[in-house]
Amino acid sequence: MVNKNFLILLATIIVTVISTWFFYHKQPRTTKEPIVLGASLPLSGINSNLGQDIVVGANTYFSHINARGGVNGRKIEFIQYDDKYEPENTLTNTLTLINKDKVFGLFGFVGTPTVKRILPLITNSDIPFVAPYTGASFLRENNADNIINFRSSYQDEIEALVAFLTEKKGFTRFAIFYQNDDYGEEGYIALSTALSNRQLRLQAEGTYKRNTLSIRHAIREIASVKPEAIILVGAYKPTARFIDKVKECCFDNITFCPISFVNANALIDELGGNGDNILFSQTVPSYDESHSQEAEKYLSLLSFYYPKEKPSLVSYESYLAAKTVVQALQSNDADINRKAFIDNLKSVNKFTLNNIPLEYHHSQLLNQVYLSTYSNGKFHIIEKYGH
């Protein structure tokens, strides 16, 4: 005869198993699946610092949010593939992200020629393409609703540099050193336009081939005209070599003006900490501003999640972009979908980043340019343009 207590225990176990199965299988799957974002960016090669800093900055904030339960119970997963800053690799990686990884959105891509290669793919889809690290005009003049730029454009940056140098310094003689591809062409056109609007003309130009350090020809082309300022539209390694060689061979009183993609921190490291005669263009304020809540939080979280990483303008910008993305995701309540996410980004609260204003204008959220110098281990903002 079966013991009565045994039957009661068996029945209890069966009820518990059934209840547990029912609980886990009937819960909405959206509360458990991660929100997957993906990027193709240079994690090796001549621009690896740029890609790595973007990953570090974004994951600093995503890790902070995930540690607090994620977005409405869903963790954010940020996956990346290395494209070595080569457009064909970017296309392959993007197809993998969309078709294999089934990402919710694309975030933090790097480069003008790389992004241009996948533009038809992006514009013919509904997948959000957010905060690419490029100021290319074709991303701001495109009518695709799913493209949301975070940073100010190259046109904004170069206009700010030219305005400052002509109005505050009285300069009239400009040259340009640029990468011989779509990125460099964007800078060349922006500079030519800014000068033409002031009845000035470009004195000289010098180019180099993407992913190389071949700069000798560019120096010869530029040095002979003795410009007062050279706008630098390249990667940090060739740019650093160009600055060093020009100072060695020609003159050391020229003003060198790198735009933000050059990667200011990596450039300074490459120059051995020497920021003499360099006027930097930034799309975000300096991270070491003592009065900035965002900068203080960034430095604190970076030291916690990446104690071996140094702060940089690139990772700070990526951190701020990640925070903006999370804000847009959280605004969707429990129903996180692509359309609502894009709409939320376009109408994000202006004060999401405290004293760094956000406003969706010209297909971008940031609309300010900060000009800075570097000394005593810090970037010092000397002028601000935009609104």
Output the CA torsion sign for 143, 37, 332, 349. negative
Rounded CA-CA distance 258/123 in Å is 30
Q: Provide the pLDDT for residue 28.
A: 38
pLDDT at 215 over 70: yes
Count of CA atoms in the C-beta half-sphere (13 A) of 107: 30
Direct distance between the N- and C-terminal alpha carbons of the chain, in angstroms, rounded to an integer: 86
Confidence of residue 183 (pLDDT cuts 50, 70, 90): very high
Please provide the size of the chain in residues.
Answer: 387
| The pLDDT value given to residue 105 | 98
Residues forming a β-bridge with 38: 79, 106
Task: Evaluate if residue 20 carries a pLDDT over 60.
Answer: no
Q: What is the pLDDT of residue 224?
A: 84
39 vs 336, more confident: 39
321-345 pLDDT, tens digit each: 999 999 999 976 667 899 999 999 9
- pLDDT at residue 346 is higher than 60: yes
What domains does the chain contain, in order, with CATH numbers?
30-151+287-368 (3.40.50.2300), 154-282 (3.40.50.2300)
Percentage of the chain exceeding pLDDT 90:
80
Supply φ then ψ for residue 5, to 5 degrees. Answer: -65, -35
Residue with tokens 């056109």, as numbered in its chain: 189
Q: Give the per-residue pLDDT at 29.
A: 42
Instruction: Give, in order, the Cα–Cα distances in Å from 198 to each of 141, 325, 361, 368.
Output: 24, 38, 25, 21
- How many CB atoms lie under 10 A from the CB of residue 169? 12
Looking at residue 130, its amino acid is V
Query: What confidence tier does 21 reach under pLDDT thresholds 50, 70, 90?
Result: very low
CA angle 79, 81, 83 (to 5 degrees): 150
Task: Report the amino acid identity of residue 235.
Answer: A
What per-residue confidence (pLDDT) applies to 30? 41
- Contact assessment for residue 90 and residue 110, using Cβ atoms and an 8 Å cutoff: no
Report, as an integer, the average pLDDT of 144-171: 97
Pure H helices in the chain: 4-26, 48-66, 87-95, 112-123, 154-167, 182-196, 216-223, 236-249, 264-270, 293-305, 313-330, 338-346
DSSP letters, 203-260, are: EEEEEE-TTS---HHHHHHHHTT--SEEEEES-HHHHHHHHHHHHHHT-S-PEEEE-G
The torsion region of residue 131 among left (phi > 0), alpha (psi -120 to 50) and beta comes to: left
Give the model's confidence band at 134: pLDDT under 50 very low, under 70 low, under 90 confident, else very high.
very high
DSSP category for residue 84: T
Work out the percent of the chain whose per-residue pLDDT is above 70.
91
pLDDT given for residue 220 in this prediction? 85
Residue 25: the pLDDT is 44
Is residue 129 scored above 60 in pLDDT?
Answer: yes
> Taking residues 254-265, what's their average pLDDT?
96
At 387, is the pLDDT very low, low, confident or very high (cuts 50, 70, 90)? confident
106: β partners? 38, 129
* Model pLDDT, residue 8: 52
Strand 255-258: give its sheet, edge to edge. 202-208, 174-179, 229-233, 255-258
Identify the sign of the CA torsion 149, 166, 285, 387: negative
**pLDDT-derived band at 142, boundaries 50, 70, 90:** confident
Q: Render pLDDT for 276-319 as a digit per residue (tens, 0 to 9).
A: 999 999 999 999 876 789 999 999 999 999 999 999 999 999 99
pLDDT tens-place string over residues 24-38: 444 334 457 999 999
Count other Cβ atoms within 10 Å, centred on residue 266. Answer: 23
Q: Treating both helix axes as pointing N-terminal to C-terminal, what angle do 182-196 and 154-167 enclose, rounded to 10 degrees?
A: 40
Q: Pick from 197, 173, 201, 177: which is nearest to 187 by CA? A: 177
* pLDDT for position 4: 54
pLDDT at 41: 98
Distance CA 161, CA 157 (A): 6
Given pLDDT bands bounded at 50, 70 and 90, which one contains residue 1?
A: very low
- Compute the C-alpha angle 370/178/132, nearest 5°: 55
pLDDT on residue 329:
94
Q: How far is CA 360 from the centre of its chain?
A: 16
pLDDT of 3 over the 60 cut: no
Amino acid of residue 28: P
What is residue 217's predicted lDDT score, i.e. its pLDDT?
87
Distances (CA, A) of 260 to 7, 15, 16, 148, 220: 73, 62, 60, 19, 25
Q: Which amino acid is at 9?
A: L
Residue-wise pLDDT for 63-104, tens only, equals 999 999 999 899 999 999 999 999 999 999 999 999 999 999
Q: What is the pLDDT of residue 16?
A: 46
